Homo-oligomer: A and B are copies of this chain.
Amino acid sequence: MTEPSQHPSETLVERARAHLRASGMRWTPQRRLLVEVLLSTHGHVTGSELVERCRAIDPDTTPSTVYRSLDALEGLGLVRHSHGHDGVEEYHVLPESVHGHLRCEACGGTWDISEAEAQALTQALAGARGFAVNLSHLTVVGRCAQCPPVVATAEPELADAEP
């Protein structure tokens, strides 16, 4: 995976263009902008965030174009979407390797979960149920090491009132 001369993302933009054109789709300024924004993105972004970011660069950006382009790019496998913490669609870019996500519900931080790290889960489920985990759709929510643990939720506990 060594790119000889240029910025890695430079190459990726190039590839995105090639992919689009190879599929009979067109390489437009709007799509180029979107691809660049996507490539400058670390973890996940929601559709509306992408609209914003594109607009920050080109104020003429239109939501419909962004969403349609996102669709197109997704069809080519350049981006993928999953469901986010609040039920918002989230896109993430170029999954070089299949991985899941970890999100801290306190600080909002996110990290990747590698296949190796998820192995404990995938194997457990495969063994017990014959269930094949789709790692790219896995988001694990909880508390990261930096955030204080939950402070005794003071919960009514309806279900356990039973003697």
Contacts and interface: CB of A to CB of B under 8 A. Distances in A.
A12 interface: yes
A77 B157 contact: yes
Nearest to A90: B87
Interface stretch (A48-56, A62-70, A135-143): A135-143
A37 interface: no
A128 interface: yes
Interface residues of A, number: 56
A151 interface: no
A141 B161 CA distance: 33
A60 interface: no
17 contacts: A15-B161, A19-B156, A77-B155, A77-B157, A78-B158, A83-B87, A86-B89, A87-B87, A96-B160, A102-B125, A102-B129, A117-B128, A118-B121, A131-B144, A131-B145, A133-B141, A134-B142
Interface of A: 1, 12, 15-16, 19, 23, 76-78, 83-89, 94-96, 102, 104-105, 111, 113, 117-121, 123-125, 128-134, 137-145, 149, 155-161
Contacts of A15: 158, 161
Nearest to A104: B131
Given A19-B158, A160-B1, A121 B140 contact: yes
